[in-house]
C-alpha cells in the first residue's frame, strides 16, 4: 500500500487520514513573526547599548597626572598622536574639516602632524590612502579620487595641495619643479641664528653615518673648506644637490627663535639640514639632525627644558616644530590671478611659542587645530 502523501508541507495524523499541513503553517506564522520582532528588538537594544558605551568612553576623562612633567608629556601626546591610529573615514573627516581652500580644480588641506603622505614599510595609514574617501565626502559617491600635487615630510604640518584631475596635478607639480611656487615655513629653532636674516647657499648630499647606529642622513657638502687658516676649494661630490634657503628671525629670546624659512630649492630635509649644520640652530624636536653622529633625543638646555615643562629624559616626546605656513601659486588654468594659501600652526606649535616667550606676527595671533578634538578609536 502506497504511503499517504500530502502536497503541503505539514503533519500526517496517523489514523485520521487527514493532512494538517495548512493548519500547521497557519499556526506557525504568528510564532515566526513574534520571533522576528523579538530579534529586531534585541538588535536595537544591543545597538543602543553599544552606542551608549562608545559615547561614555568618549566623554570619560583620563586621570590627570599629579606630576607636572607627566601632565606636559600627556599634553604633547594628545596634540601629536590623535590621527595616527584612527579609521580612514575618521582621518578623511578630519582633513575635510581642515580644508583651507576649495575650487573646481584644487583642494587645499592643512596636513596634520605625524602622518606620512605615501605608504611604505610599517605605514598603517597615510594621506594618499584616504584621498578616495575624502573625494566622496566632498563630491558624492561617484567622485574620482583626488591627486597629490606635492609632498610634505611625515613630521611637517601645514599647506598641502590636492587636485581633482590628474592633468591639473601634473601642472601644479611642474610649477613646483620649475620653482614658480613661493613656499614659506615657520620653525621654532633652538638658539638664535646670526645674522638675523640671510641666505644659506650650501649643497646637500646624503651620507652614511658610521658607528653603532649605522644610518643615512642628509648633510652639507660645501664647495670650500678651511685649511691652515686659508679657504681652499673642496672636492665636490657628484651626488651633491644645490640647496638654497632664505631665512628671517620673526621673534627671539636668548635661547630660541621663531624663524620664517623660504626654500628656493626643494632638496630632501633641506630646511632641517641648513638650520642644524649650517646655522647651528636645529629645529625644536628634530631628533635626527640635532647631532650628526647618533640618533638620539635632542639635547636641550636646562632653561629651555624648564620653559617647556619637561626633563631631558622626556625630550623625545617633543614633536618637530616645522610648519608649512604659506604657498603662493601663480595663475593656472581658468584662474587668472595668483592663489595665496595660508595655514595656521597646530596647537602644540602655538603652545611652545607661548612657553618660550616667542611672539607671532600680529596678524597670526590666533590658531587652531581642526583635528584637536578627535580621539584615536
Q: Residue 364's pLDDT band (boundaries 50, 70, 90)?
A: low
Burial of 265 (0-12, 13-18, 19+ CB in 10 A): middle
Q: Is 3.30.470.10 the CATH number for 183-329+346-361?
A: no
Q: What is the pLDDT of residues 167-219, one digit of tens each?
A: 999 999 999 999 999 999 999 999 999 999 999 999 999 998 887 778 899 99
Residue 330, helix vs strand vs coil: coil
Torsion, CA 37, CA 41, CA 44, CA 49, rounded to 10: -160
17, 23, 24, 25 alpha-carbon torsion, rounded to 10° = 130
**Strand, coil or helix: what is 189?**
strand
**Max mean pLDDT range (50-59, 150-159, 226-235):** 150-159
Q: Model confidence over 260-305: pLDDT tens digits?
A: 999 999 999 999 999 999 999 999 999 999 988 888 899 999 999 9
- For 119-141, the pLDDT digits (tens) are 888 788 899 999 999 999 999 99
- H helix runs in the chain, sequence order: 21-59, 68-80, 88-97, 131-139, 166-177, 270-273, 302-308, 347-355
| Beta carbons within 10 angstroms of residue 141's beta carbon | 7
Residue 363 has pLDDT above 90, yes or no: no
Q: Which of 129, 153, 201, 364 is catalytic?
A: 153
Instruction: Indicate the pLDDT class of residue 154, thresholds 50, 70 and 90.
Output: very high
pLDDT of 308 over the 70 cut: yes
- Rounded to the nearest 10°, the torsion over CA 197, 199, 203, 205 is 30
pLDDT tens per residue, range 25-81: 444 455 555 555 566 667 777 777 777 766 666 555 556 667 788 888 888 887 777
| Residue that has been written with the C-alpha cell 599647506 in this structure | 159
**Contact, 188 vs 257, CB < 8 A?**
yes
Q: Is 105 a catalytic residue?
A: no
Grid cell at residue 55:
559615547
For 244-272, the pLDDT digits (tens) are: 999 999 999 999 999 999 999 999 999 99
Amino acid at each position: 500500500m502506497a504511503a499517504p502523501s500530502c502536497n503541503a508541507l505539514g503533519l500526517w495524523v496517523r489514523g485520521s487520514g487527514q493532512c494538517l499541513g495548512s493548519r500547521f503553517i497557519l499556526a506557525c506564522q504568528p510564532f515566526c513573526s513574534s520571533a522576528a520582532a523579538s530579534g529586531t528588538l534585541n538588535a536595537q537594544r544591543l545597538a543602543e547599548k553599544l552606542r551608549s558605551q562608545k559615547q561614555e568612553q568618549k566623554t570619560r576623562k583620563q586621570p590627570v597626572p599629579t606630576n607636572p612633567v607627566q601632565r606636559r608629556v600627556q599634553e604633547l601626546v594628545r596634540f601629536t598622536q590623535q590621527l595616527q591610529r584612527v579609521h580612514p573615514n575618521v582621518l578623511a573627516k578630519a582633513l575635510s574639516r581642515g580644508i583651507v581652500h576649495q575650487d573646481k580644480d584644487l583642494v587645499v588641506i592643512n596636513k596634520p602632524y605625524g602622518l606620512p603622505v605615501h605608504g611604505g614599510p610599517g605605514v598603517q595609514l597615510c594621506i594618499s590612502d584616504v584621498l578616495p574617501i575624502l573625494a566622496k565626502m566632498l563630491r558624492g559617491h561617484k567622485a574620482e579620487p583626488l591627486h597629490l600635487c606635492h609632498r610634505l615630510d611625515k613630521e611637517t604640518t601645514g599647506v598641502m595641495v590636492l587636485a581633482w584631475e590628474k592633468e591639473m596635478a601634473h601642472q601644479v607639480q611642474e610649477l613646483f619643479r620649475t620653482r614658480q611656487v613661493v613656499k614659506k615655513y615657520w620653525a621654532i629653532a633652538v638658539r638664535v641664528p646670526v645674522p638675523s636674516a640671510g641666505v644659506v647657499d650650501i649643497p646637500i648630499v646624503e651620507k652614511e653615518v658610521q658607528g653603532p647606529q649605522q644610518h643615512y642622513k642628509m648633510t652639507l657638502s660645501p664647495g670650500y673648506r678651511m685649511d691652515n687658516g686659508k679657504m681652499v676649494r673642496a672636492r665636490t661630490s657628484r651626488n651633491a644637490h644645490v640647496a638654497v634657503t632664505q631665512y628671517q628671525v620673526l621673534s627671539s629670546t636668548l635661547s630660541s627663535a621663531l624663524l620664517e624659512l623660504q626654500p628656493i630649492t626643494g632638496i630632501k630635509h633641506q630646511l632641517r639640514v641648513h638650520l642644524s649644520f649650517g646655522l647651528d640652530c636645529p629645529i625644536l624636536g628634530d631628533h635626527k639632525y640635532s647631532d650628526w653622529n647618533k640618533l638620539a633625543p635632542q639635547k636641550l638646555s636646562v632653561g629651555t627644558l624648564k620653559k617647556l615643562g619637561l626633563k631631558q629624559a622626556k625630550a623625545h616626546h617633543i614633536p618637530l616644530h616645522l610648519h608649512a605656513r604659506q604657498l603662493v601659486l601663480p595663475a593656472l588654468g581658468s584662474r587668472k590671478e595668483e592663489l595665496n594659501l595660508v595655514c595656521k600652526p597646530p596647537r602644540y606649535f602655538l603652545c611652545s611659542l607661548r612657553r618660550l616667550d616667542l611672539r607671532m606676527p600680529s596678524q597670526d595671533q590666533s590658531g587652531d587645530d581642526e583635528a584637536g578634538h578627535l580621539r584615536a578609536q
